[in-house]
Amino acid sequence: MERIIFHVDVNSAFLSWEAVYRLHHKGGRLDLRKIPSAVGGDMAMRRGIILAKSIPAKKYGIHTGQSIPEAVRMCPNLKLVPPNYGLYEKCSQALLEILREYSDIVEQYSIDEAFLDMSASAHLFGGAEECAREVGRRVREELGFTVNIGISDCKLLAKMASDFEKPDKVHTLYRQEVPEKMWPLPVSDLFFVGRSTAKKLFSLGIQSIGDLASADPGLLRQHLKKQGEVIWAFANGMDFSVVERVPPPNKGYGNSTTIAFDVTDAGTAKMVLLSLAETVAARLRENHVRAEVVTVGIKDCNFRSVSHQRVLGTTTNITQEIHAAACGLFDELWDGSPIRHLGIHTCRLQEAECFRQMDLFDETDYEKLERMDAAVDRIRGRFGIDAVKRAVFLDTPVDHMSGGISREKRSVDYSRLEID
C-alpha cells in the first residue's frame, strides 16, 4: 500500500486562536491576523518574549522568541496580546476531533501540529490532495482558523511541505519532488538544523539543502557527529519513522521557571526549587514512574547558565526527596550571582511499582511520605492546585507550584482588556 502522510500545521496558531476567539466570542471587529500583531509574555514577570506573530508582523522581521522591546522597536505599531493557554488547549482538541474523522492513526506532534497516516483512507475522500483540501475547508468553516497541510510518503517531507507558502495552503513533497522543491531552499530551513548547526554548515560551504544532500557524509560526521548523518539523510528525503497514535513514554520530566525578581539568597532559591519539585514529582506520580537522576539548572542575571546532576541511591517520585537532592546540587553549583531562572529535570525512569533499596542508617519513613503525596494529589485533582499549599509559601511572592505553563498564561481576564 502506498504511504500517504499528512502534516497539519495551524497558521500562526496562538495568534489565530486569539483572533478567532475575540471575533466570535468577545465582539471584536479587528482581525489580529490581518495587522502587525503578536502574542507576548508578561514583561513584568520577565517573560517578555514573542510567542507567536501574525504574517504582517513577520514582514517587519519579528520572530518567535524575540524580546518584546526589540520587537516593538522594529514595529512601533505592533499590537500585543497576552497568552491564553487554556484557550489554546481547547482549540487544539477541537482540531484533533476533526482530524480523527479522517484517520484512526493521528499523532499530535505539538499543540498546533499533527501527523495523519492517510494510507488506508485517503481514497475514501477522492485522493490525498482532495482530502487535504476538505480538511482545510472544514477547519476554516467550523473552527474559524486556517491550517497548512503537507502531503508526502514520509513524516519528514510532509512536515517540510506544510512549511511552504502560507496561509491556508495544501502542498505536496514526494521523494521525486525533493530536487525541485526542497534542494533549492536554504539549509537552515531543513528540519533539525538549528542556528548553531546552520553556522557550521555555512562555514563548510554548505548553503542550500541540495548542497547538504550532495555533501560527503564522512565530512559531516567529522564536524557534526551523529547529527551530521541524520541531517544528510533528511536532506535526501530519507525518513522511516511511523505515525504513532500513542506517544512514546517520556524519557524524563522537568520544569523550570523565570523568577520575577533576582534571587540573591539561598533560602528563597530553595523555596523556588521546592515549588518546582512539587510540579515535577506530581507529573512523575501521575504517570506512575520514578526517577533515578535529578538535574538542577541555574541561569543568573547575566544569562550565564550552569547545571549539575546527581544519581540517587534509589528511584523516587517523592516531592521531599527530589527537593532535597535539588538543594544539594544547588549548594554545589551556586556562586552567589543573582539568579534569574531555575530548573529541575529528572531522568532514568522506572515503573513506580519497583522496590526501594533500603538503607540501614536511613530512618526516613518513605511510605508515609508517599501516602502524604498521594493524598495531596487527590485533593488538588478534585479541588484545584491551590487547595493544598505548604505553609512555607504563605505571604511570599513565590508560587507554590512553579514551572511549565505559568499561572498567568493559563487564562485571561478579558474584562480588563480593550477588545478592538
**Would you kindly state where each structural domain of the chain is located, as residue ranges?**
1-175, 182-235, 252-406
Task: Supply the pLDDT for residue 404.
Answer: 79
Residue 106 cell numbers, joined:
493521528
Q: d(Cα 102, Cα 124) in Å, to the nearest integer? A: 9
Using DSSP, state whether 36 is helix, strand or coil.
coil
Please state which of the four CATH numbers 3.40.50.300, 3.30.1490.100, 3.40.50.1100, 3.40.50.970 is assigned to the domain occupying 252-406.
3.30.1490.100
CA angle 206, 209, 213 (to 5 degrees): 85
Catalytic residues: 113
**Cis amide bond preceding 397, omega within 30:** no
The whole-number pLDDT of residue 46 equals 56
Q: Do 156 and 242 touch, CB atoms closer than 8 A?
A: no
Q: Would you say 63 and 50 are in contact if contact means Cβ atoms under 8 Å apart?
A: yes
Instruction: Locate 234 and state its grid cell.
Output: 533528511
pTM: 0.86
Q: Which pLDDT does position 260 carry in this prediction?
A: 83
φ, ψ for residue 145, nearest 5 deg: -115, 175
What is the pLDDT at residue 303?
A: 87
pLDDT for the residue numbered 47: 61
Q: Which pLDDT does position 43 carry in this prediction?
A: 59
- What is 182-235's CATH topology? DNA polymerase; domain 1 (1.10.150)
Q: Which CATH class is domain 1-175?
A: alpha beta
The reported pLDDT for the residue numbered 44 is 57
| Residue 417 main-chain phi, psi, to 5 deg | -105, 150
Which parts of the chain sit beneath pLDDT 70? 1, 43-47, 354-355, 360, 408
Determine how many CB atoms are found less than 10 A away from the CB of residue 195: 7
Q: Count the neighbouring beta carbons within 10 Å of the beta carbon of residue 145.
A: 24
Position 417 scores a pLDDT of 84
Helix (H, G, I), strand (E, B) or coil at 162: helix
Which residues on neighbouring strands pair with residue 343, listed in sequence order?
A: 256, 297
